[in-house]
């Protein structure tokens, strides 16, 4: 569940998640991981940078390129959003009966397989 008060769309949250999990990325690497075209990633990064959630830094290996890095503010916003989603999901799961929770438990392996594909 996304907190609409953040005014962040799923693409922005996903890009921030890549930076949190994988570290600083070149713009092209970030676009490839997110499976979007570079101009789309530029728009995403521009909007996140305007909010102070990411910063661009020169790539020490190739000064013609820049690395995109998650700022501490961006990290805090992303982690807070994840906590809210986790809490929302925990409440919903607690409301299921034991048989329904068992179905979810058994589905985890299939969902993990899908996520890796």
**What CATH number is given for 4-116 in this structure?**
1.10.10.10
pLDDT band at 117 (very low <50, low <70, confident <90, very high): low
The region, left, alpha or beta by phi > 0 then psi within -120 to 50, assigned to residue 59 is beta
Predicted TM-score (pTM) of this structure: 0.79
Computed over every residue of the chain, the mean pLDDT equals: 91
Contact 15, 33 (CB under 8 A): no
Parse the chain into domains and list their residue ranges: 4-116
pLDDT band at 7 (very low <50, low <70, confident <90, very high): confident
pLDDT in tens, 19-71: 999 999 999 999 999 999 999 999 999 999 999 999 999 988 888 889 999 99
Task: Identify the pLDDT of residue 73.
Answer: 96
Q: Which two tokens stand for residue 110?
A: 């299939």
């Amino acid at each position: 569940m996304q907190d609409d008060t953040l005014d962040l769309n799923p693409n922005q949250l996903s890009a921030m998640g890549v930076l949190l999990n994988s570290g600083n990325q070149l713009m092209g690497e970030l676009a490839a991981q997110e499976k979007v075209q570079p101009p789309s990633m530029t728009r995403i990064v521009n909007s996140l940078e305007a909010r102070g959630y990411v910063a661009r830094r020169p790539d020490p290996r190739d000064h013609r390129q820049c690395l995109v890095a998650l700022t501490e503010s961006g990290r805090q916003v992303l982690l807070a959003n994840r906590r809210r989603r986790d809490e929302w999901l925990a409440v919903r799961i607690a409301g299921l009966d034991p048989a329904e929770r068992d179905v979810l438990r058994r589905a985890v392996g299939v969902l993990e397989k899908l996520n890796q594909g």
